[in-house]
Amino acid sequence: MSLMVIKAFRDLFKYEISCDDKEIQRVNEHLQQFMGQLHELSHATESLPWLYADNWATVGDYGRNTHTKPIKNIDVLVCMGWKSKALKYNTDTYAVYAGDESGRFVHMRDDKNQLDPHLISRRFAEQLETFNNAKGVAVAANGGVTFREKGYLWVYNVRPAFFLKEEDTEEVFYLVPNGKNNWKPIFPLQQAARLDLVNQAHGGFMIDLIRCMKHWNREQIIPKIPAPLLEAIVFKYCENKVKKLTEFADLDIAGALQAIRHGILEECVDPIGARGDLNSMVMSARQKVSSQAFSDQLKAQSARLFEQNGDYARSIDKWSEVFGYEFKKHALKH
């Protein structure tokens, strides 16, 4: 690879894709502060479930460390207490039943004694609105609550959850609102472990490739691929790849685009969890994405060929067509 192309990609990651340490530190400090306030509020306010600090977790791309700059959304699971024997869940439907001895949950159930996740989320929204500098508090479509504080860019998606363990297998999971006024299981710890396993098998460079393709998704004028779906497609590509990734993410961009080109048209059963088919895009949107991925796959292959032939200017031009003007801007600095 030419030094010019290497430096252009490194600067693209540094200035356009990867968050720097100061930004991550600022987010983490605010997250810890926010969660501390929320836990304290839950202990003092009877209208909220009692929250336990031990098992709350960040999920989504921030939790999986696949986020890109700037950080806009942070998904947080707040862990509600399951200490009462008056709480039970149906292993088929995952409906949660609260008996008369279930404490605060007595006032958060419907006429069938099932816990109402929408009601619980509304209770959280009401209390979050009392926070200083609260902005844009709303119950989200997935059953959580969105919250942003003035002066900060990112939005928290707070999802009430139960941390549970299967008696037979001892497998841990969370029950979270499913967006249809019931509950569903998710397995973020297992997802993170499998993601980390494949990432380490590729020398830690799979995360870079995922972030690179997220930048491509953002730059191109196409229907945007939801982050879980895009991550799953790239994950599958890496999991099935015999030759290991390297620090030069551009060597695998054509392959990743080929995987997107085909994978976006098909059902995509989540390879790193139990979320079912992740591909909810309509067919017309899938076809547009597939067409763009094919076009950019060919451009990436041409860029590599130009580079190998020493025609670095044309290589830079082709990469710029894939990743946008910012790539060329960084290339021209060198």
Domain boundaries, the chain: 19-82+118-182, 192-332
Q: What is the reported pLDDT for 332?
A: 81
Band (293; pLDDT cuts 50, 70, 90): very high
pLDDT over 80 (residue 274): no
Computed on alpha carbons and rounded to an integer, the radius of gyration of the chain in Å comes to 22
Q: What is the reported pLDDT for 275?
A: 66
Exposed, middle or buried, 93 (CB in 10 Å: 0-12/13-18/19+)?
Answer: exposed
pLDDT digits (tens, 9 = 90+) for 172-211: 899 999 988 899 999 898 888 999 999 999 999 999 999 9
pLDDT over 90 (residue 28): yes
pLDDT digits (tens, 9 = 90+) for 81-114: 887 788 999 888 999 999 998 989 999 999 999 9
| DSSP state letters, 174-188 | EEEE-SSSSEEEE-H
Strands 145-149 and 51-59: unpaired
Shared fold status for 19-82+118-182 and 192-332: no
Band (165; pLDDT cuts 50, 70, 90): confident
Superfamily (CATH H level) for 19-82+118-182: Beta Polymerase, domain 2 (3.30.460.10)
pLDDT digits (tens, 9 = 90+) for 262-272: 999 999 988 76
Q: What is the reported pLDDT for 226?
A: 94
Q: What is the reported pLDDT for 236?
A: 95
Domain 192-332 has CATH 2.60.120: no
Q: What is the mean pLDDT of residues 274-292?
A: 92
Alpha-carbon distance of 330 to 171, in angstroms, equals 47
pLDDT, averaged across the chain: 92
